[in-house]
Amino acid sequence: MTTIFLVRHGETDWNAAGRIQGSTDIPLNAKGIQQAKECGQFLKQSSWDVIITSPLKRAKVTAEIINENLHIPLVEMGDFKEKFFGDAEGMTLEERRAKYPDHMYPNQEDEESLTKRVMNGLEKINHNYPNQKVILVVHGAVINSILAEISNGELGYGKTRIQNACISDIHYHENGWKVRTFNQVSHLSQ
């Protein structure tokens, strides 16, 4: 059984301001660095085989900080880069609601493409690291896409608010992915 802990990156200034980041490469802020350290402290209580991360610096730095406690291989995978939100990137929630009340942001990556990309990435992990324990450091829309696909729409978009530095636990067993837990934040001090 392949086990993956999905970890959302720590907070950035754009997260704190409610700005949609997407593929814009924003660094962690001080709170985000602390969240990553707390994830590392929590995750060191178990044994892990590999950390896989999105190449965007907010995820990659979160993964590097976690790995200060684990000292295991760290691999970047472009399959898990955050969704591109097109013309809405950098806008606050209020700005997006005013300009795009239908949530149809021009030039954004569509949900089907995102889901196909991230599920393809999960299949690569399952193939390359069968029956191993994997930490996957990614982004909110990526996690929502995975949860929605695995749960047949019971979780994910519009149903699950993915918090910074939360942990979700999925595993591959008997030819399918299953969600064990999602959006766990008990390891965080704030």
Task: Tell me the catalytic residues.
Answer: 9, 82
Whole-angstrom distance between the N-terminal and C-terminal Cα of the chain?
A: 33
Strands 177-184 and 74-76: unpaired
Phi-psi domain of 62 (left: phi exceeds 0; alpha: psi -120 through 50; beta: other): alpha
d(CA 33, CA 27): 10
CA atoms within 13 A on the CB side of 61: 16
d(CA 52, CA 134): 7
Beta bridge partners of 53: 76, 137
Q: State the DSSP code for 124.
A: H
Beta bridge partners of 47: none
From the number of C-beta atoms within 10 Å of its C-beta (0-12, 13-18, 19+), residue 181 rates as: exposed
CA atoms within 13 A on the CB side of 156: 17
